[in-house]
Amino acid sequence: MLFLIKVTDGQKQSTKKLKYSLLRSFFNFLKDSVDSTLTNPCDTPILRKTFKTTKGQPWTILDRDVVDEIIFKTDNSRNRLMLELMARGGMRIGEVLKLKAKNVYDRKLVLSDPKSGNQTEIVFIPKKVADRLREYIASADIEDGNSVFPLGNTRAREIVLNAGKMINVDLKPHDLRRHAATYASRSGVPIEIVSKIILRHANLATTQRYLGKVSDTEAIHWIENIYR
């Protein structure tokens, strides 16, 4: 036990769990192939409890009416655009902050050095949002090489949090990105489009974790719509 604690000190719980599982598997292999009387030192209740992966809090999935109200109540044009790019375009807050004027091509935004590791990625946004974005860039006289939203990450998160407070919602940037995916999925958009175009994930499994759980009421609603 002391060995595991030492080699996993300061690491994420998921990494600790992985190393514990590998070591436990190694001793099981020795027991099965070398000495059947061997006792696996990892197979104890206290170690299983210590190195288990804790379950995270369930993600918040916002209804469209809630997101619309948050956006419409945001008077500041800059702040509203930031919210819309996350909620309508599925952008991460870091991507919004890195967006430069020269990378805005009508309804298509080009992201440089995205999280995926690709050289660039494309974000597609609705026409109304694209029109407001171009108008804002022109009115603020933002030069091509400059950031559209020259803010720090902390300040940007405060803007999102304060927008949610207007309607008593504990709002985080990723809640808006998840909304973009969930709303599209429940509107009938194929999951492949949600994954590859809206969220720009490398695989569908990652996208499926973003989509909210379906309640009994929603399930009945969709079944009735299918067989109406």
Q: What is the CATH number of the domain that holds 116?
A: 1.10.443.10
Please report whether residue 207 resides in a domain: yes
Do 187 and 112 have their domain in common? yes
- Band of pLDDT at residue 110, cut at 50, 70 and 90: very high
Do 139 and 205 have their domain in common? yes
* 41-67: average pLDDT: 74
Do 72 and 170 have their domain in common? yes
- Band of pLDDT at residue 18, cut at 50, 70 and 90: confident
Whether residue 33 has pLDDT greater than 70: yes
Please report whether residue 226 resides in a domain: no
Please report whether residue 183 resides in a domain: yes
Range in 8-22, 26-40, 89-103, 168-182 with the lowest mean pLDDT: 8-22
Do 201 and 106 have their domain in common? yes
Residue 222: the pLDDT is: 60
Please report whether residue 121 resides in a domain: yes
Whether residue 120 has pLDDT greater than 70: yes
Do 29 and 79 have their domain in common? no
Do 100 and 208 have their domain in common? yes
* 98-120: average pLDDT: 87
Of 53 and 9, the structure prediction assigns the larger pLDDT to 9
Domain count, the chain: 2
Do 175 and 81 have their domain in common? yes
- Band of pLDDT at residue 95, cut at 50, 70 and 90: very high
Please report whether residue 219 resides in a domain: no
Do 43 and 79 have their domain in common? no
Do 107 and 132 have their domain in common? yes
Please report whether residue 125 resides in a domain: yes
What spatial distance separates the first Cα and last Cα of the chain, rounded to whole Å?
60
Domain span including residue 195: 64-214
Please report whether residue 109 resides in a domain: yes
Do 82 and 179 have their domain in common? yes
* 138-161: average pLDDT: 95
